[in-house]
Structure 1
Amino acid sequence: MEQSVIRLQEIVQKRKHFELGPVNLNIPQGYVTAIVGPNGSGKSSLFRLMLDLSKPDSGQIEMLGERIGNGRDHLLKQKIGYVPEQSIEMDDHLTADKKADFIRKWYPNWDLNLYRELLRRFDVETSLKLGKMSKGMRRKFDLAVAMAHQPQLLMLDEPSSGLDPIAWKTMIDVLHRYMERGDRTILMASHIVDEVRRLADYIVFMVHGRMLGMYEKDTLLESWYVLYLDTGGSDREGIELRSLPGLCGMEPAGGKVVKVTTCEARQAEEWCASQQLPITGRQKLELDDILVLLTERERLRMQA
């Protein structure tokens, strides 16, 4: 990985009905990292901790090389753009332009031309009060405001919530263009599989407040497969399928064919070849399938 723009070390936050962590995470500069997990897994809580909107019970957080929580982070936040999962209701009485006029005072790098261009691309009606906007239009406005000061780090919590398909495609294009310089970073939380597939370079899986791992996206998708193995024939009797590398699941698939799931596809295929075990079919797993398997593995771990 490249230089880290975010470092979380042994972060723990305890609440009455939820515990987050311990989380250790490094977010690399110049890439898009997506945090993926079911609702209630701690994604939004993690964002609030990074922005010092809530406090951890223990651990340290660094953003863009600066320690979070020292009370002197206003200059740091000028380098960050943030779109929360829920829009701020107290701004509902303001028009889009009034809200932008207020926000721009806090950002020396505010680019009015970029702001107007983003509004045009997203087709935002700026004369409307924010509370009168549809959920999708409000989301587009929030994205435009978060990007108008050309932040080094863009933090997006469920960025496409409420967007129609055309607006979603526009957002994908806008974010790709934002990353073209090579030195900017996006950290996003999303449950939209196609969104993660199109944008992310790295994927972080979270379940029940725990981080299950961080993976390079392309490597991850090439590693998780379902294989169909022909176990028939006297020359293959006695083969112990539980020795298959990366085995995550196994079930009969009809006749003497066994369906196995592996997170180490290349090693598993090499093992099958060494055992003279024919592979009759292969199926690549999608991100949502991988998340389901990781979630089930975590559930079983917690029950043990």
Structure 2
Amino acid sequence: MEELREEAAIRFNGIAKRKPNFKLGPITLEIPAGYITAIVGPNGSGKSTLFKMALDLEKPDDGTVTVLGHAVGRSDDAHMKQRIGYLPEEPSEHESKLKASEKARFNSFWYESWDVNRYQELLLTLQVNDNLALGKMSKGMRRKCDFAIALSHSPDLLLLDEPSSGLDPLAWKTMIELLHRYMEPGDRTILMTSHIVEEVKRLADYIVFMAQGRVLGVYEKDELFSSWFTFFVRGEGLAEHKIAGIPGQCGVDSIGGSTFRITTNRAFDAEQWCEAEGLQIVSRQALELDEIMSTLLLQDQRGKRKS
């Protein structure tokens, strides 16, 4: 994670949270300023809890959280929160009777940088009628409305929890375009969670993998997808104990004879190793995000068993 240490929009330092059926952490994690970071992982990994801690909606039992240079929960943080936009995974039930325009008007009092023209422009782009009660809207329409409200004060930090939930393909494409436009100034940061592989691939600069309240790894996106591959390797007299020495090996399976399926997170080094060993790479296939997640989970489980 050294590449993330020059500047961070959010720092989670040794945070931990203990609940009756769940334990988060301890986690030390830095979210780089000026980039889009996506947290991915199974439901119940602790992703939404991290968001709530960044907003001081939930306090860690141990550790500290720093957001935009401000220690969360230590002093008056109104100015810091004015620089944040937040889209929760689930809408607030108590807002359901409000018209969207009423919610927007309420938000305008709290955010000094609220831009009514920006708000109206976003409504038009997203095709939202804000004269409707939020509770009467479809899930996708309400999502678009809440998204527009979160963006209308041009926050420095945008927290998006499953932003495309309920959106149709056209609205999803529009959201992607708006987020790319939001990042154009170069000094804004997005931290998001998503189960949509294509969404992460199109938006994220960095990817954080989480499971069971722990961080399994942090990767630069382009490096991640260029490094994680499955190779099918063949060689006369090839044995599993030898093929296990391939660089970055994350899994070896015999598929008959002297042919093996190998998963590696160091594709270039693995190819060089096979060439030096006189082994033939019959085919190669880049891993998708969900396949990488599955591999990391398997490695984590093996590590637990060994310890």
The answer to whether the 8 Å contact 1:239/1:275 transfers is no
Q: Structure 2: how far apart are the matches of 1:250 and 1:239?
A: 10
2:233 is matched with 229
1:31 aligns with 2:35: yes
Q: Please give the secondary structure, in 2, of the residue aligned with 1:243.
A: coil
* Deviation at residue 215 of structure 1 after TM alignment: 0.5
Q: Please give the secondary structure, in 1, of the residue aligned with 2:215.
A: strand
Question: What residue identity is the alignment partner of 2:158?
Answer: L
Q: Structure 1: how far apart are the matches of 2:214 and 2:82?
A: 30
1:87 aligns with 2:87: no
1:97-123 CA distance string (max 9 Å, x none): 011111110001001111011111111
1:157 is matched with 161
Q: Please give the secondary structure, in 1, of the residue aligned with 2:244.
A: helix
* Deviation at residue 53 of structure 1 after TM alignment: 0.2
Q: Structure 1: how far apart are the matches of 2:240 and 2:134?
A: 68
Aligned in 2, Cα 1:209/1:277: closer, same or farther, shift over 3 Å?
A: same
| 2:78 pairs with one of 74, 88, 96 | 74
2:55 is matched with 51
What percent of counterpart residues are identical?
Answer: 53
1:147 aligns with 2:147: no
Question: What residue identity is the alignment partner of 1:59?
Answer: G
Aligned residues: 302
The answer to whether the 8 Å contact 2:235/2:278 transfers is no
Q: Structure 2: how far apart are the matches of 1:36 and 1:148?
A: 26
Q: Structure 2: how far apart are the matches of 1:121 and 1:237?
A: 59
1:247 is matched with 249
Question: What residue identity is the alignment partner of 2:206?
Answer: Y
Q: Structure 2: how far apart are the matches of 1:53 and 1:46?
A: 10
* Deviation at residue 240 of structure 1 after TM alignment: 1.0
Matches within 5 A, 1:105-116: 105-116=109-120
The answer to whether the 8 Å contact 2:239/2:258 transfers is no
The answer to whether the 8 Å contact 2:240/2:252 transfers is no
* Deviation at residue 25 of structure 1 after TM alignment: 0.7
* Deviation at residue 296 of structure 1 after TM alignment: 1.8
Q: Structure 1: how far apart are the matches of 2:164 and 2:192?
A: 11
| 1:192 pairs with one of 185, 192, 196 | 196
The answer to whether the 8 Å contact 1:207/1:298 transfers is no
**Which 4+ residue blocks in structure 1 deviate beyond 4 angstroms?**
236-239
* Deviation at residue 204 of structure 1 after TM alignment: 0.3
1:15 is matched with 19
Q: Structure 2: how far apart are the matches of 1:136 and 1:299?
A: 37
